[in-house]
Structure 1
Amino acid sequence: MAPHFFNKLFKRKKKGPKEPTFTLREWSPNAIGIWDSTCEINGDIFNRWKLPIQPEQRPRSPGTRQKSSQQQSSLFRLPAEIRRLIYLELMGDRRVHIRYFWRKPSAEPHSEPRWRWWHAVCDHSDGFIDDPVEDICSISGSEGPTDIVKPKIGTVGWLRCCQIGYEEALEVLYGTNVFAMNKVMDTPFLISRNLAPRCASLMTSLDISFVVGFWEPGQAEDDWMATYYAFFGLFEKSFRGVLRLRVLLRMPPCEAQEDLYTPEKGKVFLKPWEGLLEGREWTRLQLCVPYNWHDWFQEIKGSMPELARLELVSTSWADHSLAPADLAWSI
């Protein structure tokens, strides 16, 4: 009996399954959080391979709970216009970089890898930048997982003060800031899945960029195009209040390769913009492409009169380290 007893006493716990050895780049169309199959309702924030999301939220009926007038507060005795100016000074009219991402362990004590929010106030502009390549925050690589301390909107705790303060300030926070989502394709999907529907619908200004890959026809191109079309669906489902939008396509700087970009492919690429133009009074709808792709896009756009209201501009951005074959997977 003794050997059997000691075997039980010192029996080691079985190790869980090893995580996959490859890492999906966030710009991959197969990144975690883009498709429903990679999400889990009420999931574990410590699980790298399933994005934890909340159950679909039903809108609350207005007036279900009686509000306090807060007249004991000197702030709420001010006119609503004055309170709005205060909210704007505290948390509005800024350009804010925002991400929800998988954070690796840091040097901090008891740091664990987990899904988490990150944001920083842009240190270059309060709104849209004439040429996105001038966005210092993007160039310095300071968006997302970094140890560099960046300025924050430090007064969002006010949203927990009372119901009136929450409702008044929420519109300022989401309705007056320009939210920038840079470099990676998964960010708009993750933001739409993790923000409360009301908050996402209050957003009015988005500045989004992501890497584009042009491949030979096949699975890689099919995956990317499926995700690209799904991106436009977000504006019907989640970002319904957006009236100012700029999308920067970070494309490989390869020169003329007719087998990679044909007029037919260009029309397929621009087709979802047609649906985006319909049914919304855009104050700014801009497609921004690297300078060496501008003439090609302009020619295709000119053959599609339904895109006449789409503003097409060029940027000096180019990254010669990005080849088309590098843009889908990192294994």
Structure 2
Amino acid sequence: MTFQFFQRFRNKDKEKEKEKGKDRQKDQPEEHPSQSDPRTILARVGIYHETCKQNGNSRDFKAMPLPPPRRPLTPPDQELATIRSRSNTLTAINTSTTNFLDLNNNSTLPQDQSLFFSRLPQEIRQRIYIELFGGRSVHLEYDFGYAPGYRRRDKRPPDQWRWWHRVCDEEDHPNPGDMCRMNDLEDPKRIGRRELSRHKLKGVAWLRVCRKAYLEALPLLYSTNTFLISSSVKLCRLPKMIAPSHLSRIASIDILHVAKATTPSTMSDQEWETYQTLFRTLRLAYVGVRRLRLVIHILNKSCTPRAGTVPEELDEAWIRPWSELASSRQWEKLEIGLQDSWFGDFSAAGRRWEAKNGRQLEDSGYSLVRVDDFTTWDGRLSEIWNAVYL
């Protein structure tokens, strides 16, 4: 009985502590759930350098880890001297009859004596490189998440920052916002790992064979492929992960920019900042791009009727980045894709802005393209609207 009596007091004390804890939680300001949501944080990480970290943790979604500084390319003479110094420890170099690789008698690197480089003309070698990993539409992103190819019930590795690419399934009409990403996350037992690997670039390991292979093939990898990027944030991350000498070789990009606003006049400050950063990055970082297709979607909230237009006071905010991008270089193709429901409004805004600057819309350097609406009015896109990170 005594034990039960004191046990009651202990239980009462625990209940009082719980009540006090609830009162403290009520007194403290509640934190908005979106502020602690990783998707909300990821929507800003990687755009600016203050959201990145040198030698950072690959499993920290609050700071994008930057690659280590690139060292200078080793001069051929120094590299040959290094190989010669290590050759004394290699016993498998010499065969029983002849010297397979006599480094002491070679004044140049052995790769220059390869039959592939000495017999095949450069034009033939370039065609081989393009057949291996060029001339395709490739989804590319550096993002925080888990590796594809795992079933839901399987134990997956922890989420971390990782590269992902996939050759687009739609050969005729590639789209950065298609379902290729979801296809890579399908059950490998059902689809098969061989099927998943079929959509990857083949032959990229050739770049690591030797110096000459690297110098010859790398420009074709960047210049002959069209890179599909599904958001502005992911586009702004790449200049911090890819060397400027490589990034400047990219010649063709297809981007999807989604603005979560009910109308073009209800953009938040964060949306406007991302919009301006997108075009500034395209002008200053992607200096080699000559073929660009940028699709802009106003992601209307589901069940919200279309209302309003592009007000004249926002012509400069919307259209001026287009004109600045068009005048930044000589373009082979510069298309601004606009969804069908807002195409007429943006076309009128473009004509007003270009007329103020003494130009016709047809002479602006960019062309407006009508694309299908990303949204519907039947409420089926509530999950997309509620998704913080696109």
Match of residue 122 from structure 2 = 80
Give the conservation status (yes or no) of the 8 Å contact 2:290–2:330: yes
Match of residue 28 from structure 2 = none
1:54 to partner: Cα distance: 2.7
1:91-170 equivalences in 2 (<5 Å): 91-104=133-146, 106-107=150-151, 111-125=157-171, 129=173, 135=175, 138-139=178-179, 142=182, 149=196, 151-170=199-218
CA distance in 2 between partners of 1:267 and 1:43 (Å): 39
Change (3 A) 1:219 1:138: closer
Query: Which segment is superposed worse, 171-180 or 266-275?
Result: 266-275
Match of residue 5 from structure 1 = none
1:249 to partner: Cα distance: 1.2
1:262-273 equivalences in 2 (<5 Å): 262-273=311-322
1:75 to partner: Cα distance: 1.0
Aligned length: 299
Give the conservation status (yes or no) of the 8 Å contact 1:210–1:250: yes
Give the conservation status (yes or no) of the 8 Å contact 1:181–1:188: yes
- In terms of fraction of residues, the more helix-rich structure is 2
Give the conservation status (yes or no) of the 8 Å contact 1:122–1:137: no
Change (3 A) 1:203 1:327: farther
Change (3 A) 1:141 1:163: closer
Query: Which segment is superposed worse, 173-182 or 190-199?
Result: 190-199
Would you say 1:189 and 2:229 are equivalent positions?
Answer: no
1:1-331 equivalences in 2 (<5 Å): 21-24=36-39, 30-54=43-67, 60=72, 64-66=75-77, 68=109, 70-77=111-118, 78-104=120-146, 106-107=150-151, 111-125=157-171, 129=173, 135=175, 138-139=178-179, 142=182, 149=196, 151-182=199-230, 184-214=231-261, 221-253=268-300, 256-258=306-308, 261-305=310-354, 308-320=364-376, 321-322=380-381, 326=385, 329=388
Superposition CA RMSD, Å = 3.2
CA distance in 2 between partners of 1:218 and 1:35 (Å): 26
CA distance in 2 between partners of 1:196 and 1:143 (Å): 30
Deviations 1:85-114 (A, max 9, x none): 110110110000111111137556661211
CA distance in 1 between partners of 2:47 and 2:307 (Å): 30
Give the conservation status (yes or no) of the 8 Å contact 1:288–1:315: yes
Larger radius of gyration: 2
Normalising to structure 2: TM-score of the pair? 0.68
Secondary structure in structure 2 of the residue aligned to 1:242: coil
Give the conservation status (yes or no) of the 8 Å contact 1:46–1:113: yes
Give the conservation status (yes or no) of the 8 Å contact 2:52–2:65: yes
1:281 to partner: Cα distance: 0.8
Change (3 A) 1:95 1:192: same
CA distance in 1 between partners of 2:70 and 2:141 (Å): 21
Deviations 1:91-144 (A, max 9, x none): 110000111111137556661211100000111116xx3xx6xx4971465377
Give the conservation status (yes or no) of the 8 Å contact 2:130–2:220: yes
CA distance in 2 between partners of 1:279 and 1:37 (Å): 27
Match of residue 8 from structure 1 = none
**2:279 corresponds to which letter in structure 1?**
F
**1:122 corresponds to which letter in structure 2?**
C
CA distance in 2 between partners of 1:220 and 1:296 (Å): 16
Change (3 A) 1:309 1:237: closer
Change (3 A) 1:40 1:300: same
Deviations 1:294-325 (A, max 9, x none): 001110111232552211011123223457x9
Give the conservation status (yes or no) of the 8 Å contact 1:123–1:137: no
Deviations 1:197-222 (A, max 9, x none): 22211100000002112368999711
**1:23 corresponds to which letter in structure 2?**
P
**1:138 corresponds to which letter in structure 2?**
D
Deviations 1:9-67 (A, max 9, x none): xxxxxxxxxxx7413258x8x43212222211121111111100135658x58x94347
Query: Which segment is superposed worse, 305-314 or 88-97?
Result: 305-314
Alignment gaps of 5+ in structure 1: 1-19
Give the conservation status (yes or no) of the 8 Å contact 2:339–2:374: yes
Q: Which has the higher contact order (CA 8 A, sep 6+)?
A: 1
CA distance in 2 between partners of 1:147 and 1:119 (Å): 18
**2:307 corresponds to which letter in structure 1?**
Q
1:146 to partner: Cα distance: 5.3
CA distance in 2 between partners of 1:35 and 1:143 (Å): 31
Task: State percent identity of aligned pairs.
Answer: 28
Secondary structure in structure 2 of the residue aligned to 1:115: strand
Change (3 A) 1:233 1:118: same
Secondary structure in structure 2 of the residue aligned to 1:138: coil
